[in-house]
Amino acid sequence: MHFSLVDLVADITQNAIEADADLVELEVINTENEFRFLVKDNGKGMTEEEIKEAVDPFNTDGVKHPNRRVGLGLPFLTQTAVVSNGGWEIKSEKGTGTTVSGWFDTGNVDTPPVGDLPGIFRTILMFNSPGEIIIHRRKSINGNEDEYKIIRSEIKDAVGSLEDAGSLVLLGEYLRSLEEE
């Protein structure tokens, strides 16, 4: 199976939006040998029991993804982290919100490639959600620090609709330029 770490990031961010959060904050941090992300939402939250069920790969409800034999989403994150000697954490409070994080050793042969970050940021900004999405991006490589922040409501004001093809091309170029600086 071919997938990238950014696919995990998109999946976990989508969960936060599906939890009816009106604020979703994503942090993506790279160092020389680590890729780390954190998704924080103020959505419906989970009990301890719900977290256990959610990370169990054999506990898929079979409704949302009828052709899927094992759950992707959270089980996908935990399994990918475990086989590659990375890690994960879920903190949640029912009715208050959830924070999911994952970290990966980018030098481990079993760690998937990071993938196209500006591309996945654009996908995330286009998710159908009435709430705010904030992306914090930080790089700290060989003493060079770089960071930027993307706020969806500001992007919408700047490029207009996030549905129009021309705006999406512009947005893609803008996100790529941020990453290359």
Residues that bind ligand ADP in the complex, under the rule CB under 6 A: 11, 15-16, 19, 41, 43-46, 54, 64-65, 71, 73-75, 98
DSSP string across 103-167? EEETTSTTSPP---HHHHHHHHHHS--SSEEEEEEEEEETTEEEEEEEEHHHHHHHH--SSSHHH
Q: In the 8-state DSSP scheme, what is residue 23?
A: E
Q: How far apart are CA 172 and CA 181, in angstroms?
A: 15
Quick count: other Cβ atoms within 10 Å of Cβ 123?
Answer: 16
Of 14-22, 30-38, 121-129, 137-145, which segment contacts Mg ion by CB under 5 A? 14-22
Q: How far apart are CA 132 and CA 166, in angstroms?
A: 22
Look at residue 19 and give the partner it binds from Mg ion, ligand ADP, none, a contact being a CB closer than 5 to 8 Å depending on partner kind: ligand ADP
Residue nearest to ligand ADP (CB): 73
Q: How far is the CB of 19 from Mg ion (least distance, A)?
A: 10
Look at residue 98 and give the partner it binds from Mg ion, ligand ADP, none, a contact being a CB closer than 5 to 8 Å depending on partner kind: ligand ADP
Of 10-18, 76-84, 86-94, 136-144, which segment contacts Mg ion by CB under 5 A? 10-18
| Contacting positions for Mg ion (CB under 5 A) | 15, 73
